[in-house]
Chains A and B, each alone.
Chain A
Amino acid sequence: MKKLIIGGALAALMATSAMAETIGVSVARFDDNGLTIMRNGMTAHIETLDGVDLQMEDAQDDVARQLDQINNFIASGVDAIIVNAVDTNATEAMSQAAAAANVPLVYVNRQPINMDTLPEGQAFVASNEIESGTLKAFEICKNLRAEGKSGGATAYMLMGQLSNQAAVQRSKDVEDVLGMDMCNFITLIDKQTAEWSRDKAQDLMTNWISSGEPFDAVFANNDEMAIGAIQAMKAAGISMDAVQVGGVDATPDALVAMEAGEMDVTVFQDLAGQGAGSIDTALKLARGEEVDKTVFIPFKLVTPDNVSAFK
């Protein structure tokens, strides 16, 4: 009897707290710069909404932990779940768990492997990754042509973690652009991973410079690595006018480097917009509204001409 009363009281408590909609969010890594901007975009957006609670978890780059978090969300009866996948190959199990429990699921920023077979009530919010590498590489190709280097130019490429879909995609996009008739005068001397890190990029670039091979451009999968490369080139006395450097993300540090004339091209991925977009999509799904399977938040090209608009 006692148990029944306590149980009833608990149920009543939960019923009242369930008046507010709760969204469970599992983010791949809290200490990743880009994901932090996205995360903050979510929290900022939530504050503008009434009666929506956010429960944010850090998956600490651990696939198993992330799946546990999702199951915990389901068990505690959230209205919708947002997942920024640790490993985009491991999303099938998450989709199944959420679909079985009839809880809407939104993937954000990283494209799930089961995109084509996403169950009802699930969606993907991101920027179209193909745009980022392509926009950057094509702009650098145009700049090199404008500098009169169309007779032949060389470049290095700094890549993110090789297990990461964005790194693979961005690198492939650059190589695709370099395969086009208009841009095939650019030859890649070498491409290596610097694991998204400024420090590693600095060391890698210095190693490349030490081989003494002349080069005209540096393609980086993100801004942090582009800045690391810039720091290495400056330390080696290379004039930043002579080299085209391109990154992705348009971080505040990169915009400062661009204003200083060091960085030439970056691409703005509206991460805060993705965070906010994922919340809106999750709420729509929770309320049974119609939602596209893929919600795109567009990339924007940033050059010295329009850099001031992104500060």
Chain B
Amino acid sequence: MSDTSHGTGGLKFDAKKRSWPNELNIFFALIIIIVIFEILGQVLPYMNDQSFLFDTRDRFDSIFNEARLRIIILQVAIIGIIALGVTQVIISGGIDLSSGPLVGATAMIVMSFAQTELVNGNPNPKAVFGEWAFDLPVLVPVLVGLAFGAVIGAINGSLIAYTRIPPFIATLGMFLICRGIAQAWTRGQPVSFPTEGYAFLGKGMMPVFWFIALAILFHISMRYTLYGKHTYAIGSNEDAARMSGINVQRHKVRVYMIASMLAAFAAVILSSKNLTAQSGMGIFYELYAIAMAVIGGVSLTGGRGSIIGTVLGAMVFGVIQSGFTYIKLDAFYQLMAMGAIIISAVVLDKYRQERAVSRR
């Protein structure tokens, strides 16, 4: 066996060789965290009879607190969509720091094409363009957003593939450019009041629907199609991938384009859910998306990880966030705990990897 440093590495990626899929570990971690919150809820003196996940007050038909289950996934669905793209970028051996600001910029742009003319019978107080841009079909803003994402992604990918500057630098530059676009678009003014059709895209549990649908789509494409196999191959060993006939440069551009289009789509859902677009939207989203992927077992050295892992990583985030509110933990400690959890997840994963390698 020559594949040591990057897990199963190279084109020989073979899930069967692993006796214990990584995703299962994350799933267990998820259960453990839930149990911890459940216990804290019973032990802490200021908590009354409620349970974290179960319906102790007979409010729902099932034994679960359905409202809790819904918010756990709803609050991570949008960043989760970004994380699906970030996962692919990281597996290909890159990194994308521009996704958060891209969300802000895209939200501003698409919302300008999604505005309605009359608000409560009065003219829209936040109109960006003239009359022609009012009450456009919902497909217009969505396509504008995806096109914008595709352009940004193509620039990211081309810079990285053809000028060979490090992905960290290329996407950091794009980070600033997008933040600038977001602010320049309306000089910082928020854009509000979308059409009903647009508002439907992110209404209620719709963000979760999109997240799961896109997760399934990219799970299939990463696992069963040539696109996915090439992505893993490039991330494991770029030279080997090139020599085995993969057009590495073109493929990289494709990966970054998909990642940015996913971030742009997340911006559509986010602005629809909030019924507003603001230039400050998406702050830290890129870091949370990366953290979700990393907690989900995606290796920052490339070549290893999965969409399922990232979805579970997102769930870990959702459970922790909801759990913190449940036990009424102060915001300061929430940040500290979140940081500690991210670090320990990666340390544990690394330790597990090294053990797996030495066992061979």
A-B contact count (CB 8 A): 101
**Chain A contact residues: over half helix, strand or loop, or mixed?**
helix
CB within 8 Å for A210 and B120 given contacts A31-B183, A202-B273, A253-B190 = no
Q: Which residues of A contact B280 (CB under 8 A)?
A: 29, 31-33, 197
Tell me, rounded to whole Å, the shortest Cβ–Cβ distance linking A40 to chain B: 7
Tell me, rounded to whole Å, the shortest Cβ–Cβ distance linking B40 to chain A: 14
Tell me, rounded to whole Å, the shortest Cβ–Cβ distance linking B89 to chain A: 24
**A39 within 8 A of partner (CB):** yes
Q: Which of B125, B203, B326 contacts A252 (CB 8 A)?
A: B125
B257-289 near A? 1/0 per residue, CB < 8 Å? 000000000000010011110111100000000
Query: Which partner residue on chain B sits nearest A27 by CB separation?
Result: B188
**A252 to B67, alpha carbons, bound, how many Å?**
31
**B322 within 8 A of partner (CB):** yes
**B119 within 8 A of partner (CB):** yes
**A203 to B74, alpha carbons, bound, how many Å?**
8
Q: Which residues of A contact B59 (CB under 8 A)?
A: 212
**A208 within 8 A of partner (CB):** yes
CB within 8 Å for A202 and B274 given contacts A207-B322, A207-B325, A211-B326 = yes
Check B68 against A210 for contact (C-beta < 8 Å).
yes
Q: Which residues of B contact A198 (CB under 8 A)?
A: 274, 276, 278
Q: Which residues of A contact B17 (CB under 8 A)?
A: none
Q: Which residues of A contact B120 (CB under 8 A)?
A: 256, 259-260
Q: Which residues of B contact A231 (CB under 8 A)?
A: 274-275
Q: Which residues of A contact B75 (CB under 8 A)?
A: 203, 206-207
User: Which among B50, B188, B193, B275 has the highest number of chain A CB atoms within 10 Å?
Assistant: B188
Query: Which partner residue on chain A sits nearest B78 by CB separation?
Result: A199
Q: Which residues of B contact A162 (CB under 8 A)?
A: 331-332
**A256 to B118, alpha carbons, bound, how many Å?**
11
**A203 to B189, alpha carbons, bound, how many Å?**
23
CB within 8 Å for A207 and B71 given contacts A212-B65, A252-B192 = yes
Q: Which residues of B contact A235 (CB under 8 A)?
A: 203-204
Check B192 against A33 for contact (C-beta < 8 Å).
no
**A162 to B333, alpha carbons, bound, how many Å?**
12
Query: Which partner residue on chain B sits nearest A198 by CB separation?
Result: B274
Check A311 against B68 for contact (C-beta < 8 Å).
no
Tell me, rounded to whole Å, the shortest Cβ–Cβ distance linking B51 to chain A: 10
Q: Which of B267-321 contact A (CB under 8 A)?
A: 270, 273-276, 278-281, 321
Q: Which of B182-199 contact A (CB under 8 A)?
A: 182-183, 187-190, 192-193
Chain B, interface size category, equals 35 or more
Check B71 against A33 for contact (C-beta < 8 Å).
no
Tell me, rounded to whole Å, the shortest Cβ–Cβ distance linking A256 to chain B: 6
Tell me, rounded to whole Å, the shortest Cβ–Cβ distance linking B84 to chain A: 19
Q: Which of B187, B193, B321 contacts A36 (CB 8 A)?
A: B187
Check B192 against A212 for contact (C-beta < 8 Å).
no
Check A193 against B71 for contact (C-beta < 8 Å).
no
Query: Which partner residue on chain B sits nearest A43 by CB separation?
Result: B187
Q: Which residues of B contact A39 (CB under 8 A)?
A: 188
**B18 within 8 A of partner (CB):** no
**A236 to B60, alpha carbons, bound, how many Å?**
13
Tell me, rounded to whole Å, the shortest Cβ–Cβ distance linking A192 to chain B: 6
Q: Which residues of A contact B332 (CB under 8 A)?
A: 162
Query: Which partner residue on chain A sits nearest B51 by CB separation?
Result: A211
Q: Which of B28-75 contact A (CB under 8 A)?
A: 50, 57, 59, 65, 67-68, 70-71, 74-75
Q: Which residues of B contact A236 (CB under 8 A)?
A: 67
Check B326 against A207 for contact (C-beta < 8 Å).
yes
Check A311 against B188 for contact (C-beta < 8 Å).
no
Q: Which residues of B contact A251 (CB under 8 A)?
A: 190
Q: Which of A79-133 contact B (CB under 8 A)?
A: none
Tell me, rounded to whole Å, the shortest Cβ–Cβ distance linking A310 to chain B: 11
Check B321 against A203 for contact (C-beta < 8 Å).
yes
Check A210 against B70 for contact (C-beta < 8 Å).
yes
**A259 to B326, alpha carbons, bound, how many Å?**
33
Q: Which residues of B contact A206 (CB under 8 A)?
A: 67, 70-71, 74-75
Check B273 against A209 for contact (C-beta < 8 Å).
no
**A228 within 8 A of partner (CB):** yes
Q: Which residues of A contact B281 (CB under 8 A)?
A: 199
**A40 to B317, alpha carbons, bound, how many Å?**
38
Q: Which of A255-311 contact B (CB under 8 A)?
A: 256, 259-260, 311
Tell me, rounded to whole Å, the shortest Cβ–Cβ distance linking B341 to chain A: 18
Query: Which partner residue on chain B sits nearest A236 by CB separation?
Result: B67
Query: Which partner residue on chain A sits nearest B329 by CB separation?
Result: A192
**A70 within 8 A of partner (CB):** no
Q: Which of B67, B182, B274, B276 contacts A212 (CB 8 A)?
A: B67
**A162 to B332, alpha carbons, bound, how many Å?**
8
Q: Enumerate 22 A-B pairs (CB-CB under 8 Å) in ascending A order.
A: A31-B278, A32-B188, A33-B189, A33-B280, A36-B189, A162-B331, A199-B274, A207-B321, A207-B322, A208-B325, A210-B65, A210-B71, A212-B67, A228-B274, A235-B203, A236-B67, A251-B190, A253-B192, A253-B193, A256-B120, A256-B125, A311-B125
User: Top 9 nearest A-B pairs by Cβ distance?
Assistant: A210-B67, A36-B188, A31-B279, A207-B325, A203-B75, A252-B125, A31-B280, A193-B331, A210-B68
Q: Which residues of A contact B (CB under 8 A)?
A: 29-33, 35-36, 39-40, 162, 190, 192-193, 197-199, 202-204, 206-212, 227-228, 231, 235-236, 251-253, 256, 259-260, 311
10 more CB-based (< 8 A) A-B contacts, given A29-B280, A31-B280, A236-B67: A33-B188, A39-B188, A192-B328, A197-B280, A203-B75, A206-B71, A206-B75, A212-B50, A227-B276, A253-B193
